[in-house]
């Protein structure tokens, strides 16, 4: 069993998930620790898997992938071989940035980022060419109202 996080651990995680490039000095000052104990805590949080990796968040518009499409997929195939093949196909398409198996009426939900409708159509054509799907439904996001990569720490 992983030990629970204390208030300082949560503060460190909160700071790093908001700004992973914060210096050790900045983090240690914010959580009222000296550098060495703060660094040990960060190393422990990484070792225990609380911090999976540190990344840079890029601007989709500047990279010309400002269109977000949510794709609902239904299939009549529910066997291990098909799921492995579908996973292989989806993970090979870089425009598909999120991939979920769902409960309810939809079997899978994909988040796709592309420059325009033509870009999405290329992704769609590739999907249906490479794997059998029963139904594909696409919804284009009109406006991003909230987006964060920060996870709530209240439950940790």
Q: Helices (DSSP H) in the chain: which residue ranges?
A: 7-18, 24-30, 35-47, 80-91, 117-130
- Per-residue pLDDT for 87 more than 90? yes
106 band by pLDDT with thresholds 50, 70 and 90: very high
153: in domain: no
pLDDT of amino acid 123: 98
Judgement on whether residues 82 and 121 belong to the same structural domain of the protein? yes
Q: Please tell me whether residues 136 and 72 are part of one structural domain.
A: yes
- State percent of the chain over pLDDT 90: 96
Number of structural domains the chain divides into: 2
Residue 97 lies in a domain: yes
81 and 26, same structural domain? no
The string of pLDDT tens digits covering residues 25-57 is 999 999 999 999 999 999 999 999 999 999 999
Task: Give the Cβ contact number of residue 67 at 10 Å.
Answer: 18
Within a domain: 27: yes
Task: Map tokens 């210096």 to a residue.
Answer: 23
The CATH number of the domain holding residue 35 is 1.10.10.10
Confidence at residue 3, expressed as pLDDT on a 0 to 100 scale: 64
Is residue 83 located within the same domain as residue 111? yes
Q: What is the pLDDT of residue 4?
A: 82
Residue 129: inside a domain: yes
**Each residue's pLDDT tens digit, 59-85:** 999 999 999 999 999 999 989 999 999
Question: Three-state DSSP class for 77?
Answer: coil
Decide: residue 150, CB within 10 A, 0-12 exposed, 13-18 middle, 19+ buried. Answer: exposed
Instruction: Provide the domain limits for residue 99.
Output: 67-140
CATH number at residue 85: 3.30.70.920
Same domain, 38 and 80: no
Read off the pTM: 0.89
76 and 42 share a domain? no
Long-range contacts of 88-93 (CB under 8 A, 24+ apart): 89/127, 89/130, 89/131, 90/127, 93/123, 93/126, 93/127
Angle at 91 between CA 89 and CA 119, to 5 degrees: 80
């Amino acid at each position: 069993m992983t030990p629970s996080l204390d208030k300082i651990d949560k503060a460190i995680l909160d700071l790093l998930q908001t700004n992973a490039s914060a210096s050790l000095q900045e983090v240690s000052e914010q959580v009222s620790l000296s550098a060495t104990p703060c660094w040990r805590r960060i190393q422990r949080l990484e070792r225990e898997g609380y911090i999976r990796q540190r990344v840079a968040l890029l601007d989709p518009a500047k990279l010309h992938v400002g269109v977000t499409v949510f794709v609902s997929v239904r299939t009549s195939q529910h066997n291990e071989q098909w799921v492995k093949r579908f996973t292989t196909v989806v993970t090979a398409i870089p425009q598909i940035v999120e991939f979920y198996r769902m409960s309810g009426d939809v079997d899978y939900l994909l988040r796709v980022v592309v420059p325009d409708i033509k870009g999405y159509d290329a992704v769609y054509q590739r999907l249906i060419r490479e794997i059998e799907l029963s139904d594909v439904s696409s919804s284009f996001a009109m406006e991003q109202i909230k987006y964060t990569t920060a996870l709530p720490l209240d439950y940790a």
